[in-house]
Structure 1
Amino acid sequence: MIRGDGAESEGETGAPFVERRTYRRRRLMDVARLLPVLGALLLLVPLMWPDPDPYPAPDSMSGMPLSRAMIYILVVWAGLILASFGFALAVRRWAEHWTEGGEPRRGGDAD
């Protein structure tokens, strides 16, 4: 069995393990695909909350007020922005590591 994803060396058949660089690149692509789906699911949660009853009975359960739903949406939105920012920093650091073949550079080294 030979894979065509470039993970094997020339003349080598498909092994159960892939090169570390290829594995990390695939995991980054997985996270990039998963973040928008996670965000959409989190933003759909308020649609499942019951509406508040304007005239609740003394022993009845009331729904979620609109103010709490808006706060939830704002927190999810800010969380998605922070997660995207963190992911972008990780991608930049890992990309520098992959292209330079070593540790990422720190500071202003002039070439």
Structure 2
Amino acid sequence: MIRGDGAEGQGETTAPFVARKTYRRRRLMDVARLLPIVGAVLFAIPLMWPSPDPYPAPDSMGGMPLSRAMIYVLSVWAMLILASFVFGLAVRRWADHWTGVNEGPQEGGGD
């Protein structure tokens, strides 16, 4: 059995290092999986805001108005779209370097 947690018993070997290409591809997949979770957390923040009191006392906090909450939600939505677009461009740019695969047409094809 191969274990990489440092708690090897007799006769067990440690986990070998993975190739750099595989490691980086897995880290890219981790970042891609993390973006929706970050978005869900950011969308849940307005649920913790206090609701505005329709008849606030003169020196009391009235809560967050709906207009500010909607501006926040739309801003988070736009930032998530922008972040996914930038991440997609970065992955496309780095994919050739990290994996060593050329996706473009081959030059000097003959015939």
The equivalent residue for 1:7 is: none
Residues 84-103 of structure 1: CA deviation (Å, up to 9, x unaligned): 00110111112222213xxx
2:60 aligns with 60
The AA in structure 2 aligned to 1:89 is L
Partner of 1:51: 51
Distance 1:41 1:2 in 2: 36
Q: How far 1:19 moved relative to its partner? A: 2.1
Report deviation, 1:2.
4.5
Kindly provide the amino acid, as one letter, of the partner of residue 46 in structure 2: P
Aligned partner of 1:56: which letter?
Answer: P
Structure 1 unmatched runs, 5+: 4-12
Aligned-partner SS, 1:57: coil
Which of structure 1's runs of 4+ aligned residues deviate more than 4 A?
none
The corresponding residue for 2:27 is 27
The higher relative CO (CA closer than 8 Å, separation ≥ 6) is in: 2
Q: Residue 62 of structure 2: SS of its match in structure 1?
A: coil
1:14 deviates by 3.0
Two-structure CA RMSD over aligned residues (Å): 2.3
Determine if the alignment matches structure 1 residue 96 to structure 2 residue 96: yes
**Aligned-pair CA distance for 1:21:** 1.0
Percent of aligned pairs with the same amino acid? 73
**What does residue 86 of structure 1 align with?**
86
Q: Which amino acid aligns with 2:56?
A: P
Other-structure match for 2:15: 14
Q: Distance in 2 between matches of 1:110 and 1:25?
A: 24
- Cα distance in 1 for partners of 2:93, 2:2 equals 32
Q: TM-score, normalised by structure 2?
A: 0.75
The whole-number CA distance in structure 1 between the counterparts of 2:19 and 2:65 is 51
Q: State the Cα distance separating 1:110 from its structure 2 match.
A: 7.9
Tell me the CA shift for residue 18 of structure 1.
2.7
Larger radius of gyration: 2
Question: Does 1:36 find its partner at 2:41?
Answer: no
Q: Number of matched residues?
A: 95
